[in-house]
């Protein structure tokens, strides 16, 4: 299945907004680190690109325009790389161990009376992110800590 780059960027942005960045999840999922780094790069890389380009042109002169463009493009591409990774990750199916864990959490949340989406037969990381976001926002601390010790 081929997905366009624009679709991957949109999926990455949605996954970035959905994934709960919680200290309990950092040890289990690399997604937390990528989400944090991508959020930082979205804020920091455009000013860093401008600063790097301005300093390079000021110190080296106009003859270094190609290098300046390359450095600026590199800095500006970092947030896009994070969004592409997140978009790709959001569309991946969960491995068997995580699929079972997803089903357990979904069942427990239904038993607690949470309003969750219907369980998927082949869940992806985006469904896991939505479920975890609901768990951390709707359930109390005691319930969520039993899953993330």
Same domain flag for 66 and 29: yes
CA–CA dist 129, 73 (Å, integer):
31
Same domain flag for 67 and 133: no
Same domain flag for 81 and 98: no
- pTM value? 0.85
CA torsion 54-56-57-59 (nearest 10°) is: 110
Same domain flag for 63 and 3: yes
Residues in the chain: 149
> Which of 48, 74, 91 is the C-terminal boundary of a domain?
91
**The domain containing residue 83 runs over which residues?**
1-91
For 41-95, the pLDDT digits (tens) are: 999 999 999 999 999 999 999 999 999 999 999 999 999 999 999 999 999 999 9
| Residue 42 Ramachandran class (φ > 0 left, ψ -120 to 50 alpha, else beta) | alpha
- Number of domains present in the structure of the chain: 2
Same domain flag for 121 and 147: yes
For 7-37, the pLDDT digits (tens) are: 999 999 999 999 999 988 898 899 999 999 9
């Amino acid at each position: 299945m081929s997905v366009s780059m624009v679709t991957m960027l949109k999926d990455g942005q949605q996954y970035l907004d959905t994934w709960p960045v919680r200290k309990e999840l950092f040890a289990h999922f690399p997604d937390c680190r990528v989400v944090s780094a991508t959020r930082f790069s979205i804020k920091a890389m455009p000013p860093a690109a401008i600063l790097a380009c301005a300093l390079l042109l000021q110190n080296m002169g106009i003859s270094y325009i190609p290098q300046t463009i390359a450095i600026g493009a590199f800095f500006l591409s970092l947030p896009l790389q994070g969004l592409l990774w997140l978009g790709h990750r959001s569309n991946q199916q969960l491995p068997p161990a995580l699929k079972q864990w997803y089903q357990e959490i979904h069942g427990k949340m239904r038993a607690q009376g949470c309003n969750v989406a219907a369980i998927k037969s082949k869940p992806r990381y985006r469904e896991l992110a939505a479920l975890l976001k609901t768990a951390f926002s709707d359930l109390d601390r005691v319930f969520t800590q039993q899953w993330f010790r």
